[in-house]
């Protein structure tokens, strides 16, 4: 096996893996379980909203014409015929000189064409009848929620490929979608390779460390919206690694491994790809960290060989696995959004490769700032907790000074974008 590897640009690596995502089939899920899922159909409005004329206030439904002569010194008195609560329908017709007490959300009685707020009126009982006093002129149509004011019937409401959030859930509920057509979630297998790895529950032992990447990846898969499947950790042997990857290929739509991907004696991922007859897509990328990030394809399924170094593993997932997963979920905007922010620290040492610095965004005085979230080395775990973005520092002959405007990839954003850049 050759030890020299030829790095390819990040954009090219993204493009290579993005050729493979296959859309999952549609399924129906309960509305209350649909948050974070992706719509498998366009959704149209099935009726206007509101679908009947209703009152936006607690007050009195009246004929505006009854108030033509009303003023501060010349109040009019209207007879109150009854009350409509939200959910009720008033059977009858309001005429000039009459009013019906109405609550917010109540259906406007026939004949009434305006509502006056309760606070602007005074009620009085006279000879067993109820009257309301109005001291101002009310316009026709005043304080009425008209049919279709919010949404008209037959409008395209939500496009296929939209990720469902609280607002879209409200819309789906409005139109009676107790079940929602969504794409099936891709199952993403996670394998941690390394004879040094202990489970989080195990005590430390000489030369050993706890497996943090495996659990970090499960969490990253969840954030991307897919279903994680933890295959487990494996010893650095070809047999054990191969068996785990085979199992993962049987059970999952996509396979992530961490570690064992570089040129060490016990780095078996390249050999596993070879044994499986998988088509290598790349095994070196012009970036830091995560230059050893590898990918291969077998029968249309992608295998990602992420670095063993925690920060490199994290970055490799976000740049390459996340858009693939999101495209498999049916999202039309699978890539992370980029924004421009002012760099808050110097990175003056020029680097031939693009750097992706785990960073934290902040707003101040109307500006967006990006600062590294901790130490910037690929074997570092400590900088990951605070990271909510990746600061993109393109490679080249120059370094980057504090104050420069740089691109930043958003990690917590659910909206995404349609292009890598
Ligand atoms: N001669 C060379 N050596 C290395 C190169 C190189 O180009 N030539 N590249 C370096 C770079 S860059 C990286 S990144 C690492 C990548 O190594 P691997 O992906 O093969 O990962 P391992 O060797 O298995 O482990 C690396 C490091 O990470 C720790 N690790 C592994 N798995 C986990 C885990 N699940 N949780 C926490 N930490 C983990 C492992 O103990 C090692 O310390 O290679 C460099 N070397
Ligand atoms: O792939 Mo390594 O993380 O570049 O340092
Ligand atoms: Mg190694």
**pLDDT score, position 61:** 98
How far apart are the CA of 262 and the centre of ligand 3, in A? 5
Cα–Cα distance, 72 to 383 (Å, whole number): 68
| Mean pLDDT, rounded, for 78-85 | 98
Residue 178 has pLDDT above 60, yes or no: yes
pLDDT bucket at 299, cuts 50 / 70 / 90: very high
**pLDDT score, position 4:** 82
Per residue in 195-215, pLDDT tens?
Answer: 999 999 999 999 999 999 999
Residue 238 has pLDDT above 70, yes or no: yes
Looking at the chain, the whole-number percentage of residues with pLDDT higher than 70 is: 99
**pLDDT score, position 397:** 87
Q: Which comes out higher in pLDDT, residue 295 or 415?
A: 295
Sheet of strand 279-282: strand arrangement: 227-234, 187-193, 254-258, 301-306, 294-298, 279-282
pLDDT bucket at 421, cuts 50 / 70 / 90: confident
Give CA 252 to chain center in angstroms: 23
Per residue in 262-291, pLDDT tens?
Answer: 999 999 999 999 999 999 999 999 999 999
**pLDDT score, position 338:** 96
Pocket of ligand 1 (CB under 6 A): 192, 194, 196-197, 209, 211-214, 258-264, 267, 289, 291-292, 307-310, 312, 378-379
Catalogue the long-range contacts made by 137-140 (C-beta closer than 8 Å, 24 or more residues apart): 137/67, 137/68, 137/70, 137/71, 138/62, 138/64, 138/67, 138/70, 138/114, 139/64, 139/114, 140/64, 140/65, 140/113, 140/114
Give CA 190 to chain center in angstroms: 22
- Is the CB of residue 131 less than 8 Å from the CB of residue 79? yes
Q: Which two tokens stand for residue 210?
A: 């706890």
The residue written with tokens 């008195």 in the block is: 77
Closest ligand 2 atom, residue 290 Cα: 1
Cα–Cα distance, 131 to 123 (Å, whole number): 6
Residue 375 has pLDDT above 90, yes or no: no
How far apart are the CA of 231 and the centre of ligand 2, in A? 24
How far apart are the CA of 230 and the centre of ligand 2, in A? 24
The residue written with tokens 């099936």 in the block is: 184
| Domains of the chain listed by start with CATH number | 10-24+185-328 (3.40.980.10), 29-48+154-183 (3.90.105.10), 59-134 (2.170.190.11), 338-410 (2.40.340.10)
- Is the CB of residue 319 less than 8 Å from the CB of residue 290? yes
How far apart are the CA of 308 and the centre of ligand 2, in A? 9
The chain-wide mean pLDDT, for the chain, equals 96
- CB atoms inside a 10 Å sphere around CB 276: 16
Looking at the chain, the whole-number percentage of residues with pLDDT higher than 90 is: 94
Residue 131 has pLDDT above 90, yes or no: yes
| Mean pLDDT, rounded, for 371-396 | 92
How far apart are the CA of 261 and the centre of ligand 3, in A? 6
Closest ligand 2 atom, residue 291 Cα: 1
**pLDDT score, position 2:** 57
Q: Which two tokens stand for residue 304?
A: 């990602």
The residue written with tokens 């060989």 in the block is: 305
Per residue in 84-129, pLDDT tens?
Answer: 999 999 999 999 999 999 999 999 999 999 999 999 999 999 999 9
Residue 376 has pLDDT above 90, yes or no: no
Per residue in 30-56, pLDDT tens?
Answer: 999 999 999 999 999 999 999 999 999
In order of 238, 319, 335, 410, the CA distances from 342 in angstroms are 46, 21, 22, 14
Q: Which two tokens stand for residue 316?
A: 């490799």
Pocket of ligand 2 (CB under 6 A): 288-292, 307, 309, 312, 378
Which bound ligand lies closest to the C-alpha atom of 384?
A: 1
**pLDDT score, position 3:** 67
- For atom 41 of ligand 1, the residue with the nearest CA is 196
pTM given for the model: 0.93
**pLDDT score, position 159:** 96
**pLDDT score, position 298:** 97
pLDDT bucket at 380, cuts 50 / 70 / 90: confident
């Amino acid at each position: 096996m050759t030890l020299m590897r030829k790095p390819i640009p990040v954009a090219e690596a993204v493009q290579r893996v993005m050729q493979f995502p296959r859309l999952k089939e549609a399924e129906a899920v309960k509305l209350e379980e649909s948050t974070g899922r992706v719509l498998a159909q366009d959704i149209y409005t099935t009726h206007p909203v509101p679908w009947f004329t209703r009152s936006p206030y607690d007050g009195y439904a009246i004929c505006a014409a009854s108030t033509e002569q009303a003023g501060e010194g010349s109040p009019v008195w209207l007879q109150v015929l009854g009350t409509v609560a939200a959910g009720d329908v008033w059977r009858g017709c309001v005429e000039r000189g009459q009013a019906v007490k109405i609550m917010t959300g109540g259906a406007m009685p026939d004949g009434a064409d305006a509502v006056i707020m309760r606070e602007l009126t005074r009620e009085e009982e006279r000879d067993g009848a109820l009257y309301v006093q109005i001291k101002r002129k009310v316009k026709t149509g005043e304080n009425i929620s008209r049919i279709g004011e919010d949404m008209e019937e037959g409008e395209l409401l939500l496009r296929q490929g939209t990720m469902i959030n609280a607002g879209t859930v409200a819309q789906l509920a409005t139109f009676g979608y107790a079940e929602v057509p969504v794409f099936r979630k891709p199952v993403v297998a996670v394998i941690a390779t390394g004879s040094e790895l202990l489970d989080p529950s195990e005590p430390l032992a000489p030369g050993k460390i706890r497996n943090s990447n495996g659990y970090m990846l499960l969490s990253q898969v969840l954030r991307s919206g897919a279903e994680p499947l933890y295959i487990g950790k494996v010893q650095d042997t070809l047999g054990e690694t191969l068996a785990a990857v085979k199992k993962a290929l049987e059970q999952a739509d996509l396979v992530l491994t961490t570690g064992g991907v570089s040129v060490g004696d016990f780095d078996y991922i390249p050999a596993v790809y070879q044994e499986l007859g998988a088509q290598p897509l790349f095994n070196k990328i012009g970036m830091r960290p995560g230059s050893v990030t590898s990918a291969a394809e077998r029968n249309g399924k992608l295998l990602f060989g992420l670095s063993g170094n925690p920060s490199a593993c994290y970055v490799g997932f976000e740049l390459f696995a996340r858009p693939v997963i999101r495209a498999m979920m049916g999202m039309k905007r699978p890539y992370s959004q980029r924004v421009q922010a002012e760099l808050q620290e110097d990175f003056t040492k020029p680097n031939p490769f693009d750097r992706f610095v785990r960073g934290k965004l902040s707003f101040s005085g109307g500006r967006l700032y990006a600062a590294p979230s901790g130490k910037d080395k690929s074997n570092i775990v400590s900088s990951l907790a605070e990271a909510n973005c990746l600061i993109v520092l393109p490679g080249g002959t120059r370094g980057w000074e504090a104050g420069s405007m740089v691109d930043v990839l958003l990690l917590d954003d659910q909206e995404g974008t349609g292009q890598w850049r």
